[in-house]
Amino acid sequence: MKRVVSISLGSSKRDHQVEAEFLGEKFRIERIGTDGDMGRMISLIRELDGKVDAFGLGGMDLYIRVGSRRYLLRDAARIVRAARLTPIVDGGGLKDTLERRVIDFLDREGIVEFRGKRVLLVSAVDRFGMAEALDAAGADLICGDLIFGLGIPVPIRSLRKFQRVAYLAAPLVRLLPFKLLYPTGKEQEKIDNRYQRYYEEAEIIAGDFLFIRRYLPPELPGKIIITNTVTSADVEELGRRRLKTLITTTPEFHGRSFGTNVMEGVLLTLSGKRAEEVTPEDYNRLLDQLDFKPRIVNLN
C-alpha cells in the first residue's frame, strides 16, 4: 500500500486519515498538524523521510506564484530541506491544473454562472490558476492579497492590477516570517470580523478555507464558497452562517476533503516520476483518468 502524509503547520485538531484506491492502487493518506511549530514539522519529515511515498506540505505554500514566475518562501524552503529521500509537494501543481478545471466545469455545466459575478479570491498568489480561470470566465474578480495577507485594506479589482502589484511585492514578501502572512497554530481558530464588508460585497468567496474562515462574518446568506480542506464541523459552521452552497475542488473522503498538497502527493506517486519531472500535462492526464468532480453541498 502506498502512503502519502501531509505534514501541516496547521492545527492538530484537523488531523484525519483514510484508505482509498486510485487507478487500482491502494493508498493510505493522512494529515498530521503541528499547531504552528515549524521545528516539529522538520522533525516529523526527518522521522518519516524514506518511509513514505510522498509528503504534502500543508498549511503553507512553498512558492508565491504569479504568472510564470515563482518566488520561493524562505521559511518553507527551510522545512522542505529536511526531506532527503521522499518527494515533498505543496499542492501548487494541482492548484494550477485541477482548480482551473473545476472553474471551467462549474461554468460549462451551468452550476455556477461566473460572468459578471463579484468573486472575492482571498489570496490570488495562493491560487493563481484559479484567478486566471475566474478572469477567463468573466468574473468581476477581487483579489484580497493585500487585505488578508498583509492587513492593508485595499482590494485589487482586476487580475492585471494584481499581477503588477504582485511582481513588485513578491521579492520582499517571500522573505517575511510565514506567520505574518497566514494564520498558523491557534491563530487558525480565531475569527476576525474587521474585513467583513469585502465578504458582504462579493457574491462568491473563493480560496484557502482557513483564510476564508478567519475573516468569516457571523452571517452570509445566499453566498457561494469555492475552497477545499473542509471538515464536517466546517460544513456545519457554514450552514449556521446561512451560506447557500459549498463547493470543494478536491473530492470527499469519509466526510472530509483533503488539501491539494495531499492529492498532489497521490498524483505524484501514481505518475511514477520524480517531483521535478512532473508536468501540467502529466497532472491533466491523471485527472482525466481519475475523473475527479468537485463536491457540491447545498447548505440552506
Residue 218 belongs to domain with CATH number: 3.40.50
- Strand bridging mode 204-206 / 224-227: parallel
Domain count, the chain: 2
| In a shared domain, residues 22 and 66 | yes
Residues 25 and 162 in one domain: no
For residues 210 and 212, what is the distance between their CA atoms, to the nearest angstrom? 5
| pLDDT class of 189 with cuts at 50, 70, 90 | confident
Same domain, 177 and 269: no
Tell me: pLDDT of 254 over 90. no
149 in any annotated domain: yes
* Residues 69-89: tens digit of each pLDDT: 999 999 999 999 999 999 999
71 and 100 within one domain: no
Domain assignment of residue 265, yes or no:
yes
- 122 and 230, same domain (yes or no): yes
Q: CA 108 to CA 223: how far, in whole Å?
A: 20
76 part of a folded domain: yes
Q: 52: which strand partners?
A: none
Residues 72-99 as b/e (b if ≥16 CB within 10 A, e otherwise) read: ebebbeebbebbeebbbbbbbbbbbbbb
Task: Assess whether 102 and 228 both reside in one domain.
Answer: yes
Residue 274 lies in a domain: yes
Which pLDDT value is given to residue 195? 93
Is residue 10 domain-resident?
yes
Q: Are residues 275 and 225 in the same domain?
A: no
Average pLDDT, the chain: 93
What is the residue range of 64's domain?
A: 2-90+255-292
Task: Look up residue 104 and give its three cell numbers.
Answer: 471551467
Whole-angstrom distance, CA of residue 205 vs CA of residue 227: 8
